[in-house]
Structure 1
């Protein structure tokens, strides 16, 4: 049997240009074990991906701030604290940076995502002044202002418990700092070649290929091993 999967999306199931790789629609619908999409994106994004793949909508969103499994939603973290940091950041000249509309944050329930072009040093300084309740996580696609202690790994533990699956049965694939906690919970973990230093150091293995090329190689290896 193939193992259950905990898969990041951006940088892991995408092309280098940020598009969902079409192989996702070839490889994942028939994966004969649970697949958890664990992302820093807002809740609707991974739900939509699971829906269009025809899979159970079992997802972790907002870096662990939201977990959805078997129709039950768990929300953790303090969005008011995150927004207070962002407002203080703005008052000191910082900018969220997404332009009019800000669909990046429109449906976010537990955190605030700030553009990767923002003043990181200032953002971290303001977050640190909040007293340790709020932290900034760099995913390479945004700076996520979130409650300290909220993580994909903790959410994966909750999802695994709801599915009655040992978390160590999962194989995790990811590419950035926010995947480190997932790697620590899953029994086996892979960083794709484009991964940042934190993910590379935390993973059991760094695959030779990047983006979906790397993830596809991991999936092929797992299928071969299950035969």
Structure 2
């Protein structure tokens, strides 16, 4: 049976159990994966591209929770970021900060959304988002303010088209609320053991193992055709 293409999140999915830093055990399995690998993240555009370069896999990424799709040198920017820019200006004018120290590399190269630290108050951010027709998604690592029509799932459909594949062929692996749309778009969605409850409920399989340990186990099982995990996700 052919090995399916995969779409995989970064934070909480390819990272160590501390949640910080890529676990090096995921690098070889991704580099040697025989079908397309799409890195799908809430991080800004440069980060997943750099990760692909370090892994040694073709640059196929979904960035900013679906705001940007980049596959084999073709870039698609989804959604209208004008409302995000207006919210950002009003948020600053109201005296709020994004919560990132220094040069704010979290948002510095972000093109289609805004990421606010979870240490910042959620209510005023949500109020402004509603005013501008935007939504706030909690990835467990940041509050992401974005166009509600943008999602990892919708972006994966575009990425699949560029790869001349059906999105249903993909296996998606993730851990957060922003991965739910990917699970809904594919036939097989896998939540690692540390996943948020909303992600576990949307997944077809929930692993016992957490973070990158879970992802490595999932990749081994997918390739062997022995995928295991709870399917009682209600």
* TM-score range relative to shorter protein: over 0.9
- Look up the match of 1:218: 218
Q: Residue 44 of structure 2 contacts residue 107 of structure 2 at CA under 8 Å; is this kept in 1? A: yes
- Look up the match of 2:231: none
SS of aligned partner of 2:107: helix
Rounded to whole Å, the distance in 1 between the matches of 2:128 and 2:40 is 27
- Look up the match of 1:127: 129
Mind listing any 5+ residue stretches in structure 1 that lack a counterpart?
none
- Look up the match of 2:85: 83
- Look up the match of 1:44: 46
* 1:139-154 matches, cutoff 5 A: 139-154=139-154
Q: Residue 170 of structure 2 contacts residue 187 of structure 2 at CA under 8 Å; is this kept in 1? A: yes
Q: Residue 78 of structure 1 contacts residue 111 of structure 1 at CA under 8 Å; is this kept in 2? A: no
- Look up the match of 1:193: 193
* 1:1-227 matches, cutoff 5 A: 1-17=2-18, 18-130=20-132, 132=133, 134-225=134-225
How far residue 116 of structure 1 moved from its aligned partner, in angstroms, is: 1.2
Q: Residue 2 of structure 1 contacts residue 32 of structure 1 at CA under 8 Å; is this kept in 2? A: yes
Q: What root-mean-square deviation, in Å, do the aligned CA atoms of Structure 1 and Structure 2 show?
A: 1.2
The count of corresponding residues between Structure 1 and Structure 2 is 224
Normalising by the residue count of structure 2, what TM-score does the alignment of the two structures yield? 0.92
Normalising by the residue count of structure 1, what TM-score does the alignment of the two structures yield? 0.95
Structure 1, 71-80 or 152-161: larger mean CA deviation:
71-80
SS of aligned partner of 1:9: coil
SS of aligned partner of 2:183: helix
Q: Residue 28 of structure 2 contacts residue 55 of structure 2 at CA under 8 Å; is this kept in 1? A: no
SS of aligned partner of 1:103: coil
SS of aligned partner of 1:105: coil
Mind listing any 5+ residue stretches in structure 2 that lack a counterpart?
227-234
